[in-house]
Amino acid sequence: MKWRSLEESTPGLDSRPLREVFAERKELIAKYVPHETQAIHEQAITELRSRKLAANILPVGAKAPSFQLQNQDKELASSSALLERGRLVLCFIRGRWCPFCVGQMEAMNHMLPQIEESGAALVAISPQTVKQSFFMHDQHKLRFPLLSDAGNNVARQFGLVYRVPAAQQAVYRQVFVNLPFTNGDDSWELPIPATYILDRDGTVLYASANEDYTERPEPAAIVQCLM
């Protein structure tokens, strides 16, 4: 299945709420993905929820760990330098292979002018390699940095990391989602999707995470929090 960009799927309506974009993609999954495969993904989400992973992420009021990561152009980006300019929106995503991550990044890209007008910056962090981040940045015409978090070291400090269950690993292999190649290691670890807003001193002002990778906060709601 080819996952189209917002512009490809609905010309002229790339400002749709993210929930509408995701609803469209869920309909396609329900229609074309085998039921047994859908059941494996649903079971993986259920297991993560039973561990209450999202309830134990780095919370509002905590100090975020500092980091220094390479962007899609192999340039180092540090949280300290970004926070010197203002507040920082962090989106932790799984990778360019995930249609829901793509949809979220395109939607955040559309809202970037409003984010910057509020005096904040936006970056996305994923475990994928710098080369994969470059491909994603170029293909989807993103105007904000994609940072590569090798080994999920930063995501781990935010409490977001889990290992993909064996049954789900098998499904990913069948559809050519080769995480060891995409991420550059054989850990089969991913972050649950999460969005943070950090104050200039690194204090967490907003935190949202979900074990269900098909659920993300609306970009408009993030902008509202910045106003």
Residuewise pLDDT in 10s, the chain (227 residues): 334 444 444 444 457 899 999 999 999 999 999 999 999 999 999 999 999 999 999 999 999 999 999 999 999 999 999 999 999 999 999 999 999 999 999 999 999 999 999 999 999 999 999 999 999 999 999 999 999 999 999 999 999 999 999 999 999 998 889 999 999 999 999 999 999 999 999 999 999 999 999 999 999 999 999 98
d(CA 123, CA 118): 15
In-domain check, residue 7 = no
Beta-strand pair 194-198/189-191: unpaired
Q: Which domain holds residue 46?
A: 16-226
In-domain check, residue 77 = yes
In-domain check, residue 98 = yes
Q: Is 191 helix (H, G, I), strand (E, B) or coil?
A: strand
In-domain check, residue 3 = no
| pTM of the complete model | 0.91
CATH number at residue 50: 3.40.30.10
Q: Based on the number of CB atoms within 10 Å of its own CB, is 211 exposed (0-12), middle (13-18) or buried (19 or more)?
A: buried
Number of domain units in the chain: 1
In-domain check, residue 79 = yes
Query: In whole angstroms, how large is the CA radius of gyration of the chain?
Result: 17
In-domain check, residue 57 = yes
In-domain check, residue 1 = no
